[in-house]
Structures are given as C-alpha cells and as structure tokens.
Amino acid sequence: MSVMESILEQVKKRNPGEVEFHQAVEEVLQSLEPVIAKHPEFVESGLLERFVEPERQIMFRVPWLDDNGKTQVNRGFRVQFNSAIGPYKGGLRFHPSVYLGIIKFLGFEQILKNSLTGLPIGGGKGGSDFNPKGKSDNEIMKFCQSFMTELYRHIGHDLDVPAGDIGVGAREIGYLFGQYKRVKNAYEGGVLTGKGLTYGGSLARKQATGFGVIYFTNEMLKEHGLSYEGKTVVISGSGNVAIYACEKAQSLGAKVVAMCDSTGYIYDKDGIKLDTVKRIKEVERKRISEYVKDHPEAEYHDGQKGIWTIKCDVALPCATQNDIDVKEAQQLIDNGVTALGEGANMPCTNEAVNLFLDNKILVAPAKAANAGGVATSALEMSQNSMRLSWTFEEVDEKLHGIMVNIFKAAKDAAKEYGMEGNYVAGANIAGFLKVADAMMAQGLV
C-alpha cells in the first residue's frame, strides 16, 4: 500500500460515514503523488497525516424559540482545520444537509483555496443544520443570536474569521455580528466578513465569488486561444455566485441560457434576463420558476439535474457539491462543452472530473476558480484593520489581480510537475506547497 493509500484509509477509518470529506481528501492526495516523490521530507516528518487532521473540531447545540413559542434545537459546528499561514478563515453554512463531514470537507478545501489567494489566511469552516428557508426574520435572528452565543468563544480577528456561505447572507451576518458585539462588549469589525457596508463591509464582496469564477476561467480560456465572446454558457444555481458569474460572463460577450435552483431550471434561448433573476432571488426570495411569468418565451423544467442536458460551450456549476456525476459529465461532453468552471465547492464528483480531463475538457477547479469570495473577505479584513474603505473599482481591481495570479500559480505548478494543462492538479499542488513549507518551518504542532 502506498503512502497516499495508507493516509486515505486512515482518514476513512477515523471519520466513518463522512463521504464528502473522504472524497475531498482523495482528490487532493492523488494530485500530490509527484510532490511527495520530489519532497520525501513531507512523508518523513508526518506532515501529510497532520495535513488531513483538523487542528480543532467544535460541535454545540443551538436552542431557540420559533414564532409559536416552541423550542427548537439545532446543531452547530466549527472546524478549525489549519492555521499554518494565518488565522482560520471560512464561511458558515446553514442548511439541513449540514453535518460534520460536510464541514470537514469544506474546511479542508478552504486550506488550499486560501493558500492560493496569496493572502495570510488559514482554513476553516462552520455552520448548522438549521434551515433558514421558510423562517421569519425574527426566527432567523433568534437562531443567529443563539448560535453566536456559543461560537463567539472560538473566534476572533486574529484567531478565526467566519463569513457567509449557503443560507448565510447579509441578513444572517448582521444578526451574528450584532450578537458578537453584544456578548464581547467590543466592536471588533474584523471578526466576521461579508458585513453590511454601513458597518465595515467591503464593496464588491457580494459580487466577488461570481466575478472571480469568470476572471479565472477567462484566463484559462485565453491560455488556450479561446474567450467568452459569443460562447453559450449554462450556470447551475441562482444564488450570489451564479448571479454574479452570469453578470460578468454576459459583460464579456457570453450568452447565458440557463440557471436553476433546487427545484428546477429555466432555459431562455435568447439569453437570461438577469434583472428578473435578481428580483426573484435577491428581493422576493422566490423560486426560479417565477421567471417564466415575466418571460413566457422561456422554459421551466422541474428537477435541477436536467440543466446539464442543454448544449453549451462553457458549463459553470455554481450550486452545491456533487452536482455533476459521470452521467451529467458525459452529457456535457457529448454536447460539445469545451470548458468547465467550478463556482460551487466540489460540484463535480472525482469520477466526473477525471472524465472531463480524459476528454481534454478545460477544468477550472473550485479551490482556485471560486477563491474570489474568500480573497475579497481577506481584503475586507485588511480594510477593517486599517479603518479604511476602498472603492468598488479598487476592490475589483485587486480581486482581478488575485485571480490572474491564482491561475498563473496553478498553471506553473502543473507544468513543473509534469501535468501541463491540468489545472486541477496544479491548484492542489500550488496551494499545498505554501502550507506545507509553513508547517515544516513551525515544527511538530
């Protein structure tokens, strides 16, 4: 049994049933084989065993009263995975699917993603199995206050800086920050990112992940003599990442023809009217099916997976993990897709990614392509520390530069280790080497 196989077996044994975490670790370890061959000191020092083991895992109960006066109890999580290059940084996810394995997979991915930004932030993630859908603002506030009443003990601007993720937007961050400020009796603006603009938030943070996906994939396309101009694009999801990926892709001349939510997808052959999607999702908080009421020429279909049967040049999965399996990957390949950019975290199974790579499809991996959100969160931390606010243009320019640098790092690492054009492996290697060097320098901790 090889070193990598041994470590993966140990991960599965120590973390039974946590299939998403197993998948994330397996995908990264596969990419690191040539790195370990060149750097035997990483094996001799036990670095890999430490790399796949979180520094700290926190679980706690979250009791709160609903609008009927009934007690509800959810479970809260924070996994502080790796602080070798900076304080833990990663979002909070509120969704009924959340359990420890999801949080660990996200935290593990976050280590490499944060490393790739070039900014001094470590990897962590948190959340709860609380479902904000269908809850009143008052219920969400009560939940967030109860959640933060425990979480505040474990975070800080030089320790661990959470942000938003699925189910946690500006409203939830506001309630969380208010409760943190109350229990700490201090205004520590840098303890959370994704804040409102009136209390320390950053311009362009809302757009950052979606814009970053397009900035990265555009660099990838240019590297191979392609561009977004005139390309047909399909985007899964209709949250922040999907909406702003759509906006930026359209600005570069692409025609986005499909978007979705968890219930179904819309297809508009003439191109998605983004203002309608923004109103439905950001203002009215309704289902994507409402789109066809304003645009009857468009089609709505039940079931999210069908979106991958639509013919496109570029696919951007921006919804959730494991959205694309081998079946969907083959459909995209058969329909002539040339490039795929992962806007969500691990939206493709490992088998699907391998199928894309085997068929010479350009793949922009999540930990590189969707790093724009956490990069801009780190820029928000910088502004908070300096008591400054940069303009939208300043932040967007910095974000664009970061994404270009991430692409270059992934490209160069892939080439150096004999996998030119494989940006999946390149991103894993480039992100890992920075963290590994820091861990080696800091000794056995």
Q: Which residue has the tokens 């939206």?
A: 347
The one-letter code for the residue type at 165 is D
| Number of residues that make up the chain | 445
The verdict on 240 and 130 lying in the same domain is no
Domain boundary among 130, 158, 188: 188
Whether 229 is covered by a domain: the verdict is yes
Number of structural domains found in the chain: 2
pLDDT above 90 (res 137): yes
The verdict on 248 and 214 lying in the same domain is yes
The verdict on 262 and 341 lying in the same domain is yes
The verdict on 224 and 148 lying in the same domain is no
The verdict on 86 and 138 lying in the same domain is yes
Closest residue by Cα to residue 121 from 157, 75, 172: 157
Q: Is the dihedral of CA 282, 288, 291, 297 positive or negative?
A: positive
3-state secondary structure of 181: helix
281 labelled catalytic: no
Report pLDDT digits (tens) over 276-330: 999 999 999 899 999 999 999 999 999 999 999 999 999 999 998 999 999 999 9
Choosing from 89, 104, 113, 125, the catalytic residue is 125
Report pLDDT digits (tens) over 67-118: 999 999 999 999 999 999 999 999 999 999 999 999 999 999 999 999 999 9
Domain boundary among 157, 188, 219: 188
Whether 268 is covered by a domain: the verdict is yes
pLDDT above 80 (res 1): no
Count each helix (H run) and each strand (E run) in the chain, helices first. Answer: 18, 12
The verdict on 237 and 182 lying in the same domain is no
The verdict on 19 and 164 lying in the same domain is yes
The verdict on 212 and 319 lying in the same domain is yes
Whether 392 is covered by a domain: the verdict is no
Instruction: Kindly tell me the burial class for residue 173, based on how many C-beta atoms sit within 10 Å of its own C-beta (0-12, 13-18, 19 or more).
Output: buried
Question: The domain containing residue 165 runs over which residues?
Answer: 3-188
Q: In this structure, what CATH number is given to the domain that contains residue 334?
A: 3.40.50.720
The verdict on 272 and 243 lying in the same domain is yes
The confidence band for 176, taking pLDDT boundaries of 50, 70 and 90, is: very high
What's the mean per-residue pLDDT of the chain? 97
> pTM score, two decimals?
0.94
Long-range contacts of 329-335 (CB under 8 A, 24+ apart): 329/355, 329/356, 330/355, 332/308, 332/361, 333/359, 333/361, 335/309, 335/310, 335/311
The verdict on 27 and 83 lying in the same domain is yes
Q: In this structure, what CATH number is given to the domain that contains residue 153?
A: 3.40.50.10860
